[in-house]
Chains A and B, each alone.
Chain A
Amino acid sequence: MTGMTGMTGMTGYTADEMMTVAAARALKDGMTCFVGIGLPSAAANLARAAHAPNLVLIYESGTIGAKPDRLPLSIGDGILADTADAVISVPEIFNYWLQPGRIDVGFLGAAQIDRYGNINTTVIGGDYASPKVRLPGAGGAPEIAASCREVIVIVRQSRRTLVEKVDFVTSVGYGDGPGTRERLGLRGSGPKQIITDLGVLTPDPETCEFTMTAIFPGVTGETVRDRTGWEVRIAAEPETVDPPSAAELQALRGFQATR
């Protein structure tokens, strides 16, 4: 993996490892999961190795039930096709599998995500025609975010990534609040967790605004506020999260060593 942040220091694991492990734990055995590349793919593969052997990994390249024994660099590495239950075309993966709502969880990354869980992977700064930073774009994400039964987002937390309002809505979370998804006819229930290197944010059941409801060991509320681009609310009693187990770390590092 590239861009590992944090030091192992006294804890024996990095903030990125804690994030990936927490994201993996959110995936339950037997679920069907549409996997984005990068952090989501690492977490989904860890889940399958650690506690969810029957997790069905679906990649937009048309590989259903992929069982890679090393982390793929892209969503179309040969190891995904070689180990899949079925390999189908790209129109089919989107039209027959994602669109009708067959998939339990969509697992996405983000360049920016806002307080209502809207994702930007298109442009930052300037305007659309002449942006300051041109990002890769939508890929499969808009329809994954619309059609999976629920969505989990994994992103490193900073004021650049967790913003008050995204510069461009590539994939819709809760729009501008309650009722937006229904009005737009989006059939999935939307983002249920944003998992970061500091903890987990979940949507307020009434306002849909993301609130810090779990904080990782050693992380302070001050750090959370410093690294969030809006006046983030922190639950009165945030859930505690177990640090990565030796088995989880071994599985994760094993994947990373083989890439």
Chain B
Amino acid sequence: MYRGANAHDGSHMAEIVSLAEAISRAVRDGDTVAMEGFTHLIPFAAGHEVIRQGRRDLTLIRMTPDLIYDQLIGAGCVRKLIFSWGGNPGVGSLHRFRDAVEHGWPRPLEIEEHSHAGMANRYVAGASGLPFAVLRGYAGTGLVEETDTIKPVTCPFTGEALMAVRALNPDVAIVHAQQADRHGNVQMWGITGVQKEAVLSSERAVVTVEEIVDSLAPRPGAIVLPAWTVSYVAHVPNGAHPSYAAGYTDRDNDYYVAWDAIARDRDTFGAWLAEHVLAGAAA
């Protein structure tokens, strides 16, 4: 059900706060959380803060779970995953995701699986205040049987058989962007994926940014999220690493390649988590 985006604390303007404060105020145990960013602008620093704050029983939504959800799943934060492609792009498997699905470690993981087209349309429906979206998709695939948020629908005008997918309305959207101004207006550019729809479909939104500027200089093709659509803005330079922020940082492809060996083994992953995420609590 659509509850109106960003109805946080009765206020309508973004608050600029620390990352720790943004996450602690926005994300609660049991929440449905969408951290979006399609290869580009993935909010890794915010994901790590969720791990550090020990959130549990989350339902996580992301088209491409990527390393960030491999890390959250391995850290035991996640009860359910809603997704459409769970691999390490160009490298191979997400081993923590696989371990959770194949062996229930560190806890069983419920999944709700879609295609990219379906997920994108679910966010569009959520942002539009509609209960479902319609698309040409899934026909003949095994996903129709396994996923109860995909249902056939008949066009009322032409009689054509199409597919409906249920809207997504997360409790919280978390995205990373290049810039915000001092009022909390946000601008992002380059590959902007499904972030606008994720923010507009969610009740609360956290945006981490590379830079806070006095005023946003309009950029061709950029997405601007007005301050009243955002709950919290946190200044987190390099907050997308090992993903990237066009104009600020480059994708760390070596990290993605190296992740394969780290994540393959539970103990190696545990040591990585302790050293690179949990030890960063004061940062």
B38 touches A134 (CB 8 A): no
A-side residues, CB < 8 A to B, are 2, 37-38, 60-63, 72-78, 80-82, 87, 89-91, 94-95, 98-99, 122, 128, 130-143, 146-147, 168-172, 175, 180, 184-187, 259
Q: Considering the chains assembled together, what is the distance between the CA atoms of A69 and B120 in angstroms? A: 29
Q: Considering the chains assembled together, what is the distance between the CA atoms of A216 and B123 in angstroms? A: 46
Main SS at interface, chain B: loop
Interfacial residues of chain B within 86-129, with CB under 8 A of chain A in the complex: 86-87, 89-91, 93-94, 97-98, 101-102, 113-117, 120-121, 123-124
Nearest CB in chain A to that of B162: its residue: A185
Task: Report B253-278 CB contacts with A as 1/0, cut-off 8 Å.
Answer: 10011000000000000000000000
Smallest Cβ distance from A74 to chain B, in angstroms? 3
B-side residues, CB < 8 A to A, are 38-40, 63-64, 83-87, 89-91, 93-94, 97-98, 101-102, 113-117, 120-121, 123-124, 135-143, 146, 160-161, 190-194, 196-197, 221, 223, 244, 246, 250-251, 253, 256-257
Q: Considering the chains assembled together, what is the distance between the CA atoms of A90 and B195 in angstroms? A: 9
The 10 closest A-B pairs by CB, nearest first: A76-B39, A136-B87, A74-B89, A139-B85, A73-B90, A172-B140, A94-B117, A91-B120, A138-B115, A184-B139
Q: Considering the chains assembled together, what is the distance between the CA atoms of A212 and B246 in angstroms? A: 45
A187 touches B136 (CB 8 A): yes
Q: Please indicate the chain A residues that have their CB under 8 angstroms from the CB of B38 in the complex.
A: 61-62, 76, 90
Smallest Cβ distance from B220 to chain A, in angstroms? 10
Q: Please indicate the chain B residues that have their CB under 8 angstroms from the CB of A136 in the complex.
A: 85-87, 93-94
A138 touches B161 (CB 8 A): no
B40 touches A61 (CB 8 A): yes
Smallest Cβ distance from B120 to chain A, in angstroms? 4
A186 and B102 contact, Cβ closer than 8 Å, known pairs A77-B251, A91-B120, A136-B93 = no
A89 touches B196 (CB 8 A): yes
A143 touches B194 (CB 8 A): no
A60 touches B40 (CB 8 A): no
Q: Considering the chains assembled together, what is the distance between the CA atoms of A17 and B142 in angstroms? A: 33
Nearest CB in chain B to that of A1: its residue: B90
Q: List 10 A-B contacts (CB under 8 A).
A: A62-B192, A74-B89, A87-B192, A90-B38, A132-B102, A136-B87, A137-B84, A137-B113, A143-B117, A184-B139
A62 touches B191 (CB 8 A): yes
Smallest Cβ distance from B260 to chain A, in angstroms? 10
A134 touches B101 (CB 8 A): yes
Nearest CB in chain A to that of B254: its residue: A73
A169 touches B115 (CB 8 A): no
Q: Considering the chains assembled together, what is the distance between the CA atoms of A143 and B221 in angstroms? A: 26
B140 touches A186 (CB 8 A): yes
